[in-house]
């Protein structure tokens, strides 16, 4: 059963550019040979020989091609090499996932055949040993596992850190553009972290999450925003209000003058280079989205943008379904956030989700104030709670409380002036007479 050739170039392209991805492919290919042709197989063998810090370059490719004596073979391999070098893969992570799925299936088929053969000759112990091997050593179970000697790894860590400094796109830090919050988060939101935005109904969780998505995209970071609570039309209208600095209600009537429309078009043209193919918005029905569905949407966005999408914003993961069937709501909710945690680790993305607070009003929500399951606060790397008294609501003020922050300090409060009509939030000063200790 061959691996689908549609995804081979993405697998090779990802392995040619990234050492960690290359190791991931190596682990899978040890268990089976998935290549559909000798040309892709021989190209992989060259890429497989690259050292950790190397990438597959035109110079390496030229030496490789020069060593192929048969003209027809050289022409075929040249097409493969050209495709790899011409542009980054559209969905390398998705392709590797399919490769791992193929390997698991092929391993199970081969293993089952061995079990049948052992049982046919009465070797029950041998059959059990085969089953034990299948259960304990599937290559895909090691996907994403990184480890080794800490002391010996120093030089490699320094090389990786230097590479990330020189190439910020490898591990982007996504600014929230709330200065105090960015300071506490050591520059902003980071990939491979799961964050929660917790608050009661109508406190502004959706607006806050949408602002995270907008500022991320405006900073040049491809971003996926998924809503399980609003229609795509409503999400996009709020973004229109945010971008054009007009009230949302204006867009429902579409009563714009010719001058307004010309101004809008000028603004769009100025922002095209920054925002085009940077922010993707999707709406999904309540209790229908799973981990697999999110990965499909990420793959879809990566194909459309031509780049990796490192920032995922959810509103809200509370309305997702876990990958496995779980009857109890509390455990179901915990499983959903573990699924998000897995996406964060496997796809190397930053994921932030809004999360509903339970029960009645509290002046200050903590890291464990999440509806249905307090486990969410334990699973997340960072928890921000949105807090508002009735008086603060009347004055369009909101308090962000850093309830949890594995990367640095927690416990600080950041004041926000809200303009929900225009879909915007801005940092502001604490009102006169406010003392943090009173709320904490």
The 10s digit of each residue's pLDDT in 47-90 is 988 887 788 988 999 999 999 988 888 888 898 898 888 877 76
Mean pLDDT score, 42-50: 89
- Domain-embedded: residue 157: no
- Domain-embedded: residue 158: no
Cα distances (Å, whole numbers) of residue 207 to 313, 314, 412, 420: 12, 12, 21, 7
Total count of domains within the chain: 2
For residues 138 and 182, state if they share a domain: no
For residues 234 and 317, state if they share a domain: yes
The 10s digit of each residue's pLDDT in 83-131 is 888 877 766 666 666 666 666 666 677 778 888 888 888 888 778 777 7
For residues 133 and 228, state if they share a domain: no
For residues 175 and 130, state if they share a domain: no
Domain that holds residue 42: 5-142
Residues 33, 38, 40, 42, Cα dihedral to 10°: 90
- Helix pair 258-275, 205-218: axis angle to 10 deg: 70
**145: pLDDT strictly greater than 60:** no
For residues 238 and 358, state if they share a domain: yes
For residues 11 and 115, state if they share a domain: yes
Domain-ending residue, one of 124, 142, 160? 142
What is the distance between the alpha carbons of residues 136 and 360, in angstroms, rounded to a whole number? 47
For residues 85 and 175, state if they share a domain: no
Coil, strand or helix: which one is 388? coil
For residues 185 and 55, state if they share a domain: no
User: Are 39 and 80 spatial neighbours (Cβ–Cβ below 8 Å)?
Assistant: yes
For residues 373 and 262, state if they share a domain: yes
What is the distance between the alpha carbons of residues 370 and 377, in angstroms, rounded to a whole number? 7
Mean pLDDT score, 400-404: 96
Q: Peptide bond before 361: cis, by omega within 30 degrees of 0?
A: no
Res 241: pLDDT: 92
Strand order in the sheet with 194-199: 279-283, 223-227, 311-315, 350-356, 194-199, 382-387, 397-405, 413-419, 424-428
Grade residue 396 by pLDDT with cuts at 50, 70 and 90.
very high
- Domain-embedded: residue 162: no
- Domain-embedded: residue 151: no
- Domain-embedded: residue 155: no
- Domain-embedded: residue 153: no
For residues 427 and 316, state if they share a domain: yes
The 10s digit of each residue's pLDDT in 275-325 is 999 999 999 988 888 888 898 899 889 888 888 899 999 999 999 988 767
Grade residue 437 by pLDDT with cuts at 50, 70 and 90.
very low
- Domain-embedded: residue 147: no
**259: pLDDT strictly greater than 80:** yes
For residues 233 and 301, state if they share a domain: yes
Spatial CB neighbours of 371, under 8 Å, sequence gap ≥ 6: 318, 333, 355, 356, 357, 358
Q: What is the DSSP string of 51-102?
A: -TT----HHHHHHHHHT---HHHHHHHHHHHHHHHHS--S-HHHHHHHHHHH
- Domain-embedded: residue 284: yes
**33: pLDDT strictly greater than 90:** no
Residue 157 has, within 13 A of its CA and on its CB side, a CA count of: 9
User: Are 242 and 211 spatial neighbours (Cβ–Cβ below 8 Å)?
Assistant: yes
For residues 75 and 212, state if they share a domain: no
Residue 229's CATH number: 3.40.50.300
Domain-ending residue, one of 99, 125, 142? 142
What is the distance between the alpha carbons of residues 217 and 368, in angstroms, rounded to a whole number? 30
Residue that the structure tokens 């902003």 belong to: 188
Closest CA relative to residue 63, chosen from 87, 19, 50, 34: 50
Residue 65's CATH number: 1.10.860
pTM of the predicted structure, to 2 decimals? 0.68
């Amino acid at each position: 059963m061959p691996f689908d050739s549609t995804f081979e170039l993405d697998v090779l392209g990802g392995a040619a550019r990234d050492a960690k991805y290359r190791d991931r492919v190596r682990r899978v290919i040890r268990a089976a040979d998935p290549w559909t042709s000798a040309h892709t197989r021989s190209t992989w063998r060259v890429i497989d020989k690259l050292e950790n810090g190397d990438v597959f370059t035109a110079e390496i490719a030229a030496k490789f091609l020069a060593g192929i004596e048969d003209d027809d073979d050289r022409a075929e391999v040249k097409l493969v090499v050209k495709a790899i070098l011409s542009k980054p893969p559209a969905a390398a992570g998705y392709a590797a996932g399919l490769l791992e799925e193929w390997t698991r299936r092929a391993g199970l088929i081969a293993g089952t055949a061995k079990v049948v053969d052992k049982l046919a000759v009465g070797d029950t112990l041998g059959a059990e040993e085969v089953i034990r091997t299948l259960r304990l050593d599937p290559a895909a179970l090691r996907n994403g596992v990184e480890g080794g000697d800490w002391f010996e790894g120093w030089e490699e860590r320094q090389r990786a850190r230097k590479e990330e400094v020189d190439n910020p796109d490898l591990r982007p830090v996504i600014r929230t553009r709330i200065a105090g919050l960015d300071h506490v988060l050591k520059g902003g939101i980071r990939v491979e972290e799961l964050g929660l935005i917790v608050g009661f109904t109508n406190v502004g969780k959706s607006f806050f999450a949408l602002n995270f998505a907008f500022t991320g995209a405006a900073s040049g970071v491809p971003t996926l925003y998924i809503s399980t609570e609003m229609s795509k039309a409503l999400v996009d209208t709020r973004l229109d209000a945010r971008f054009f600095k007009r009230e949302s209600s204006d867009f429902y009537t579409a009563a714009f003058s010719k001058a307004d429309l010309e101004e809008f078009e000028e603004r769009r043209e100025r922002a095209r280079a920054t925002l085009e193919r940077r922010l993707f918005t999707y709406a999904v029905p309540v209790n229908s989205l799973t981990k697999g569905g999110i990965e499909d949407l990420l793959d879809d966005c990566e194909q459309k943008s031509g780049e990796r999408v490192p920032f995922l914003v959810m509103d809200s993961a509370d309305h997702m379904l876990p990958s496995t069937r779980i009857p109890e709501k509390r455990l179901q909710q915990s499983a959903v956030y573990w699924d998000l945690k897995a996406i964060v680790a496997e796809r190397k993305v930053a994921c932030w989700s809004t999360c509903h607070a339970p029960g009645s009003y509290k002046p200050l929500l903590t890291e464990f104030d999440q509806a249905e399951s307090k486990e969410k606060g334990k699973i997340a790397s960072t928890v921000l709670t949105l807090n508002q008294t009735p008086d603060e609501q009347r004055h369009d003020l909101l308090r962000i409380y850093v309830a949890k922050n594995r990367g640095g300090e927690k416990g600080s409060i950041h004041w926000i002036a809200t303009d929900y009509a225009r879909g915007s939030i801005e940092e502001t000063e604490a009102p006169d007479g406010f003392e943090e200790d009173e709320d904490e």
